[in-house]
Amino acid sequence: MINRVLIRIKVIQLLYSYLLIENHFMIESQPSAPTKEKRFAYNLYLDMLMLMIRISERIEKRGGYRPLEDTRFIKKILADDKVKSLQMKFRVDEFSLQGVVNALAEQVKESGVYKNYLKNLDTDKGEDDKIWEQLFNLVISPNPLLNSAFTRRENYTIRGVERMKEMMADTFSNFYASRDNIDDAVNTLAVSMAKARELYFRLLLLPVELTNLREQQIDENRHKYITTAEDLNPNMRFVENALVSAIREDEDVLAYVEQNKLSWMSDEPRLLDSLLKSIMESDLYAEYMNFPATDFHTDCEFWRNVFKQIVFHNEDFLEMLESMSVFWNDDIEIIGTFFLKTLKRFEESGQGDKVVLPMYKDDEDAAFGKRLFVDIVKNKDVYRRYIDESVKTDKWDSDRLAVMDVVITMAALSEIINFPKIPLVVSINEYIELAKSYSTSKSGAFVNGILHSIVTKLREEGKILKS
């Protein structure tokens, strides 16, 4: 029921928002209308960032590996445009804290905080996110040489130093808020899949509850104070529809609806009433009610046509779906298709046949979304390098690429490289179509060109073997 087309869409949507949040980290901005004290504090703050970079450059392990320079915090700092400007400035001007760099680097190297970090790194349990905050608070900030250097700065005040520490605390907090959290993202993906499943059952429930509402209206009309012949002898074809009866009795539908407490009547009574009115005012309804005779096929086709011609084009219904779940706006087209197939399965089913579609075709599909997303996140830098190298070859400016184009291309590369059972042409074509739907008008051609360029290179390097 949830196929790989929908899974790819959900992975790309999640990845897009995930990468935006991940890259949200920024250093503190200069205060507006700064006093001398605030200016001192901000300049000291910038110097502290540069100091940590300089320390990370001086601490090496055997083979030239620099554990602290390889941390996410330093990488994030170095990626900030303000810090890039600082680096350029300090290449010209003398770094104001140059005299304490070596001493602090040695103190950091000998600290319990750093040694414990290295120990955890060796066991693959390194707390990358926390190391620099710990070093700053426990090792760097208390250092008497550093504090002595502060006092020699123009406009020095104790409050200015405290302001700097507050800005550092905010920077660390901002960093943590933007950190990689794959588990949370994977949980969000799982929720999105579950909501797609819910939409499927809600669509199956809708004909039942529309019929229930019509039965209620017929009963009320029969008990009016003044009744008409139509009130007393109504056409019962709509409420006696065989397909609706079959859905009502289906064990899978009954179990899911009961377990999840689904009810259109409870959640959206006005919408239900409006939809029923639209159906009953349609030519489709009039023709169905006036047929000389009907059978199961006719009853199934009626509801299939009701959804295709009325429900799926009803703006109030579509808006309601969007308000009920952020996922359903994109799910409705694919889930709607599987819903219509399920109505056909009711018509074709025999005694004891399973009609309701399983959530996934098989275990591979069930694991596909998580595997794809996690791989993209863990190898995003590699995939981005492939893209940047290909773009440079084609004389494009990689910094000006649409974010969605990059996301789609990274997802495609992950699938091409890591899912050998999926034919190469299938992966490429699927992501080209996604680019056409979810990015710019030229994105399909762009993604096609970039993917073919990268695939050709990876084939030459023996990193892709499938055809």
| Structure token pair of residue 306 | 């009701």
Residue 353 included in any domain: no
Neighbours of 354 (CB within 10 A): 11
Contacts of residue 460, Cβ cutoff 8 Å, sequence gap at least 6? none
Q: Mean pLDDT: which of 220-234, 299-313, 347-361, 383-397 is highest?
A: 299-313
Residue 373 falls inside a structural domain? no
Q: Per the structure block, which two tokens stand in for 36?
A: 């001398």
Taking alpha carbons only, the member of 164, 157, 47 closest to residue 101 is 47
Q: Which residues contact 174 (CB under 8 A, 6 or more apart)?
A: 24, 25, 26
190 and 166 together in one domain: no
Q: For residues 226 and 334, state if they share a domain.
A: yes
Within this chain, do residues 208 and 320 fall inside the same structural domain, yes or no?
yes
Coil, helix or strand at residue 87: helix
Tell me whether residue 67 is in a domain: yes
Look up residue 171 and give its two tokens: 């920077």
Question: Residue 241 in 3-state DSSP?
Answer: coil
Tell me how far apart the alpha carbons of residues 100 and 86 are, in angstroms, rounded to a whole number.
18
**Contact 159/44 with Cβ under 8 angstroms?**
no
Choose among 322, 335, 330, 325: nearest CA to 438: 330
Residues 201 and 253 in one domain: yes
Q: Does some domain include residue 156? A: yes
Q: Is residue 90 over pLDDT 60?
A: yes
Mean pLDDT of the chain, nearest integer: 89
* Three-point CA angle 160, 165, 170, nearest 5°: 125
Q: Whole-angstrom Cα distance, residue 364 to residue 357?
A: 16
CATH number for the domain spanning 399: value is 1.10.940.10
Do residues 286 and 385 share a domain? no
pLDDT tens for 284-336 read 999 999 999 999 999 999 999 999 999 999 999 999 998 899 889 889 999 99
Check whether residue 275 and residue 323 sit in a common domain.
Answer: yes
Of 158, 177, 196, at which residue does a domain stop? 177
- The verdict on pTM exceeding 0.85 is no
Q: Which two tokens stand for residue 350?
A: 């025999």
Q: Classify residue 82: in a domain, yes or no.
A: yes
Contacts of 1 by beta carbon, 8 Å cutoff, 6+ apart: 196, 197, 200, 335, 338, 357, 358, 359, 360
Cα separation, 126 vs 113, whole angstroms: 11
Whether 18 is covered by a domain: the verdict is no
Please check whether residue 385 is in contact with residue 398, taking contact to mean a CB–CB distance below 8 angstroms.
no
Of 300, 326, 348, which closes a domain?
Answer: 348
What would the pLDDT profile of 12-63 be if each residue is shown by its tens digit? Answer: 999 988 887 665 667 888 887 778 999 899 989 999 999 999 999 999 877 7
> Could you read off the pLDDT of 144-200 as tens digits, one per residue?
999 999 999 989 999 999 999 999 999 988 887 766 567 788 999 999 999 999 999
Contact 48, 146 (CB under 8 A): no
Is there a single domain that holds both residue 70 and residue 122? yes
447: CB partners within 8 A, 6+ apart = 405, 408, 409, 412, 431, 432, 435, 439
Same domain, 100 and 191: no
Cα dihedral: 444, 450, 452, 454 (round 10):
-150
The Cα 303–Cα 307 span in angstroms is: 6
Q: Give the Cα separation of 41 and 446 in Å (integer).
A: 47
Same domain, yes or no, for 420 and 322? no
User: Mean of the pLDDT values across residues 379-398?
Assistant: 78
Q: Identify the CA nearest to 141 among candidates 90, 107, 99, 98.
A: 107
Q: Going along 328-373, which residue ranges are E strands?
A: none
Domain boundary at 348, 365, 396, which? 348
- pLDDT (0 to 100) of residue 397: 56
> In angstroms, rounded to a whole number, what is the distance separating the alpha carbons of residues 354 and 85?
65
Note whether 173 and 191 are same-domain residues.
no
Q: How far apart are CA 67 and CA 49, in angstroms?
A: 17
Supply the DSSP symbol for 27. Answer: P
Residue type, 47: D
> Considering Cα of 188, then 189, then 191, then 195, what sign does the dihedral take?
positive
Residue 467 predicted with pLDDT over 50: yes
> What domain range is 171 assigned to?
25-177
Q: First CA to last CA across the chain, in angstroms?
A: 28
Residue 8 belongs to a domain: no
Is 322 in contact with 329 (CB distance < 8 Å)?
yes
What residue type is assigned to position 98 of the chain?
Q
Q: Which one-letter amino acid corresponds to residue 441?
A: S
Q: Examine the domain organization and report whether 160 and 220 are in the same domain.
A: no
Q: Using alpha carbons, select from 76, 41, 47 the residue that is nearest to residue 165.
A: 41
Kindly state whether residues 338 and 383 are assigned to the same domain. Answer: no
| Whole-number percent of the chain with pLDDT over 70 | 94
CA distances for 459 relative to 222, 293, 406, 463, angstroms: 75, 63, 21, 6
Q: Decide: 83 and 77 in contact? Cβ < 8 Å.
A: yes
- Quick check: 449 pLDDT over 50? yes
Number of independent structural domains in the chain: 3
Asked if residue 13 is part of any domain, the answer here is: no
User: In this structure, what token pair is assigned to residue 385?
Assistant: 């390098």
- Give the dihedral of Cα atoms 62, 67, 68, 72; nearest 10 deg: 160
